[in-house]
């Protein structure tokens, strides 16, 4: 793929940008300017070594001008009973009629960027596009170049929200392939606490591109729990970025689960801006067929006394391909960092493939950084043990595979979602065994 064709493709995506003046036009202009100077990554870029975007570039995606029609009942399966608030975006457009907005505790705000721009302009100005820099990322620059609206969740000083808030992004099947640019901003002011579920689903199996950007600002002493679900259409492309900034003594815990999309790439970067910060980022990808799921994370211990824990698991069946790159940087002066990362991968077939790479860059003394990666299959002894108790071979393999994935699923703090995830994994492992 030569550069000229590559930047032509990026240019073709930019050609869909519309003019218009609103609070975000300045930001959009800067996004477009950056995108114009960039090209899409190729496999010659180290960060995209295993993830070839050529299939993406064969398709011409148009930004959806309006949302597809969706009946409320069609989304019933995606409801999380524990969440009193559900903001629904269809094809990137906020759908008032499909959303649920119950009363929230004092100081907790949730709505669209446009709705909240008037009363929370200062907060938005302080955070939007400040955490996910777009100067060096074509996809982030594109998303910013198209930014007209998005989801905003904010918790004021010391305000706690004990219930999960659900952001549901639905892609419908359109006549022609569409590109959607979801945008989320989550701000937890000092001492506050929030639980957010960021959920990408599809109705039907259309071909589309999701280019999503989420920013999370965790203030001093604040606690944010973030559940990310990706259940896109099997023919879709999902490229996403989540940038998290943590202030002093804050806590950020996230569980990201990926089941869908023909090709998915998730970039998660967490920066510990101050001392005494705790970060836990767990991930699970369960893929089959010829799916590719790529997760790149960057844990930046920029200050001392930080703790980070990461468990990333992939279950790979048929001829699918999972990629994991877990970068941990401990900057000079970040003494007493305590970091551990584990990448565990289960191959269910001879054609399945995993590329996993922990990447540690340590520039401080007096730190504890552990990392480990395993790639393997189900052990014959484990399978035999279960069969010797009466389970058929497919059931034994299914149970063991489910148990492998369950470790991350059990870390999702919303029971109704845990149930859904367990069922999806069970279904997928059973289907496989019946094949």
Name the residue nearer to another protein (CB basis): 336 or 378: 378
Which residues 6+ apart lie within 8 Å of 2 measured at CB?
A: none
Min dist. Cβ of residue 407 to another protein (A): 5
Nearer to another protein, 113 or 425 (CB): 425
Site string for another protein, 390-419 (x = CB under 8 A): xxxx-xx--xx-xxxxxx------------
Interaction residues for another protein, span 365-394 (CB under 8 A):
379-382, 384-393
**Residue 360 dihedral angles phi and psi, to the nearest 5°:** -105, 130
Q: Which is nearer to another protein, 88 or 409 (CB)?
A: 409
Q: How far apart are CA 272 and CA 361, in angstroms?
A: 15
Cβ closest to another protein, residue 78 vs residue 404: 404
Give CA–CA dist 131/215, Å, rounded: 6
Min dist. Cβ of residue 386 to another protein (A) = 8
CB 181 within 8 A of CB 211: yes
* Size of the chain, expressed as the number of residues it contains: 435
Residue 273 and residue 245 in contact, taking contact as beta carbons nearer than 8 Å: yes
Give 43 or 392: the residue with its C-beta nearer to another protein.
392
What is the closest distance, in whole angstroms, from the C-beta atom of residue 423 to another protein in the complex?
15
Q: Shortest approach of another protein to residue 394 CB, angstroms?
A: 10
46 C-beta neighbours (distance < 10 Å), count: 8
Burial of 102 by CB count in 10 Å (0-12 exposed, 13-18 middle, 19+ buried)?
A: exposed
- For the bound state, the minimum distance from the C-beta of residue 392 to another protein, rounded and expressed in Å, comes to 5
Select 209 or 400, whichever has its Cβ closest to another protein.
Answer: 400
| CA 108 remoteness from chain centre | 23
Distance CA(240)–CA(265), nearest Å, equals 6
Q: Which of residues 98-127 bind another protein (CB under 8 A)?
A: none
Cα 307 from Cα 340, distance rounded (Å): 8
Contact 163, 132 (CB under 8 A): no
Based on CB atoms, which residue is closest to another protein, 381 or 434?
381
Minimal distance in Å, beta carbon 138 to another protein?
39
Can you tell me the distance from the alpha carbon of 236 to that of 253, in angstroms, rounded to the nearest whole number? Answer: 28
Distance, C-alpha 384 to centroid of its chain: 37
Q: Please, which residues bridge with residue 343 across strands?
A: 312, 373
Cβ neighbours for 316, distance < 8 A, ≥ 6 positions apart: 285, 287, 288, 322, 345, 346, 347, 348, 349, 352, 353, 354
- Would you say 321 and 348 are in contact if contact means Cβ atoms under 8 Å apart? no
Q: Which is nearer to another protein, 363 or 385 (CB)?
A: 385
94 contacts another protein (rule: CB under 8 A): no
Burial tier of 309 (Cβ tally within 10 Å: 0-12, 13-18, 19+): middle
Minimum CB separation from another protein for residue 350, in Å? 17
Beta carbon of residue 278, minimum distance to another protein (angstroms, whole number): 24
CB of 248 to another protein, least distance (A): 36
152 vs 400, beta carbon nearer another protein? 400
Nearer to another protein, 166 or 313 (CB): 313
Say how many residues touch another protein, by CB under 8 A.
24
Tokens of 345: 């991968």
The distance of closest approach from Cβ of residue 420 to another protein in the complex, given in angstroms and rounded to an integer, is: 18
Q: Which residues bind another protein (CB under 8 A)?
A: 379-382, 384-393, 395-396, 399-400, 402-407
């Amino acid at each position: 793929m030569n550069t000229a064709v590559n930047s032509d493709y990026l240019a073709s995506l930019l050609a869909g940008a519309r003019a218009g003046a609103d609070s975000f036009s300045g930001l959009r202009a800067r996004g477009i300017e950056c995108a114009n100077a960039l090209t899409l990554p190729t496999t010659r870029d180290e960060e995209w070594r295993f993830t070839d975007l050529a299939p993406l570039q064969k398709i011409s995606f148009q930004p959806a001008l309006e949302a597809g029609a969706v009946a409320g009942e069609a989304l019933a399966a995606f409801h999380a009973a524990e969440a009193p608030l559900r903001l629904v975006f269809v094809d990137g457009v906020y759908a008032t009629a499909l959303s649920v907005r119950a009363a929230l505790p004092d100081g907790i705000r949730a709505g669209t960027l446009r709705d909240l721009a008037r009363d929370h302009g200062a907060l938005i100005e302080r955070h939007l596009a400040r955490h996910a820099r777009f100067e060096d990322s074509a996809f982030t620059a594109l998303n910013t170049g198209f930014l007209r609206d998005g989801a905003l969740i904010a918790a004021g000083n010391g305000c706690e929200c004990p219930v999960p808030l659900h952001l549901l992004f639905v892609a419908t099947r359109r006549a022609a392939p569409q590109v959607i640019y979801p945008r989320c901003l989550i701000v937890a002011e000092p001492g506050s606490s929030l639980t957010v579920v960021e959920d990408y689903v599809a109705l039907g199996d259309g071909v589309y591109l999701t280019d999503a950007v989420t920013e999370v600002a965790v203030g001093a002493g604040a606690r944010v729990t973030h559940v990310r679900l990706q259940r896109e259409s099997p023919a879709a492309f999902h490229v996403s970025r989540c940038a998290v900034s943590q202030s002093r003594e804050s806590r950020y815990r996230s569980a990201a689960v990926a089941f869908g999309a023909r090709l998915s790439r998730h970039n998660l970067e967490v920066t510990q801006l101050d001392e005494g910060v705790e970060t836990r980022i767990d991930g699970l990808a369960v893929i089959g067929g010829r799916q590719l799921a790529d997760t790149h994370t960057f844990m930046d211990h920029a200050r001392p006394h930080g703790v980070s824990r990461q468990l990333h698991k992939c279950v790979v069946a048929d001829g699918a391909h999972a990629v994991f790159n877990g970068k941990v940087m401990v900057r000079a002066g970040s003494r007493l960092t305590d970091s551990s990362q584990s990448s565990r991968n289960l191959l269910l077939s001879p054609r399945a493939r995993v590329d996993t790479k922990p990447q540690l860059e340590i520039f401080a003394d007096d730190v504890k950084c552990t990392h480990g990666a395993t790639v393997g299959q189900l052990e014959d002894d484990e399978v035999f043990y279960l069969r010797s108790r009466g389970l058929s071979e497919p059931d034994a393999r299914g149970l063991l595979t489910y148990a492998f994935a369950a470790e991350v699923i059990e870390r999702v703090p919303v029971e109704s979602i845990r149930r859904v995830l367990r069922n999806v994994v069970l279904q997928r492992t059973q289907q496989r065994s019946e094949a």
